[in-house]
Amino acid sequence: MIVLRQYIVTAVSIFGQTLKTDSFSAIIKKFLKEESYKKAVSLNFLTGSVTSLTGAIIGGVFLIYFSDYFVDVMISAVLISLLSAIPVIQKTQRVNENRNTFSGEMKSVGLFLRRISGFLLLAFFLNGLFISIDTYSSGLFNLVLKANPAYYTAFNMAVPIGMMVGTPLVNVRYFKMEEPAFISGMIFIFAPLLIILSLSKFPTLDIIDAFTIGLLLPLINIPLNSRLIKIIPGKIYGKISAVMRIFVQGAQPAMGALFNVLAIGISVKTVFLYVGLLVIPLALYGMSIVPRFFVSYFSGI
């Protein structure tokens, strides 16, 4: 029964996070100028990292030192979030004269999705493989490394700290140029980082590895997310965003279920090794897809 409740809570949490992400990107598209997209996405990425870090610290402290109050703290955090969420109602006027027909909009949606199908495929598998860290990190530290809970807390803190360090770099010098080859190279580096998790016998090394992964995430995600906001036509932005969210986020439960099944027959470290090896061909595939993703041939949709 407890496990079922955890699944329900996780489902609600992911649902809320998805709505938040979609809404924020739509607001960026609607109210900001194109040259401000990247800064807005960077700020959103940074605040998300701070939130993750805060949650890891609070959760770790209460789990280690005040475990009897852990559930109470979680419920209190949820209530505070609900009370602080103030909706803003916007009034929009529809112009019937220039409104596209439903069939015309769906045709545009299909055309756009077909043009970025290669990128969607890459995002699906990378997002799905990355969930292995969330799925197995607890088992890695508790069952394999038999480490103190403080190490697991530090591991969970390392990724958002790395993201906080990496986010400002996106707007600095070479990183600011959004070179497709550089982004592809960052994806390729993920493979050895995941392989290190599978081979390492030292919790400290895994924590450093997690920090490096967090450092790379904004260097990859911020330029790609900014580019997506820029190239998706405003008239079909909501439909495109919804389809992409379903497709890409759908990789997480699918891969999560697969990883859970694999863990029954093979060790956690072996799964990490396989995931790292799978990232290599995906990264090579990304080296051909990402440059095409940055080519400006979307304006005719």
CATH of the domain at 235: 1.20.1250.20
The domain of 208 spans 2-84+102-293
pLDDT, tens digit (0-9, with 9 covering 90-100), for 226-270: 888 888 887 787 778 777 777 777 777 777 777 777 767 777 778
Is 271 inside any structural domain? yes
pLDDT, tens digit (0-9, with 9 covering 90-100), for 52-76: 888 778 877 877 777 777 777 777 8
* Burial of residue 59, with CB atoms counted within 10 A of its CB: 0-12 exposed, 13-18 middle, 19 or more buried: middle
Is 188 inside any structural domain? yes
Q: Pseudo-torsion of CA 137, 141, 142, 145, nearest 10°? A: 140
Is 94 inside any structural domain? no
Higher pLDDT, 139 or 194: 194
Is 91 inside any structural domain? no
- Tokens coding 266: 């093979």
Is 49 inside any structural domain? yes
- Total domains in the chain come to 1
Find the mean pLDDT for residues 172-184. 73
User: What is the rounded distance in angstroms from the CA atom of residue 285 to the CA atom of residue 1?
Assistant: 43
Contact 237, 112 (CB under 8 A): no
Is 227 inside any structural domain? yes
pTM of the model: 0.74
User: What is the rounded distance in angstroms from the CA atom of residue 161 to the CA atom of residue 1?
Assistant: 34
Q: If DSSP codes are grouped into helix, strand and coil, which group holds residue 93?
A: coil
Cβ neighbours for 125, distance < 8 A, ≥ 6 positions apart = 251, 278, 282
Is 96 inside any structural domain? no
Is 93 inside any structural domain? no
pLDDT, tens digit (0-9, with 9 covering 90-100), for 6-15: 556 656 665 5
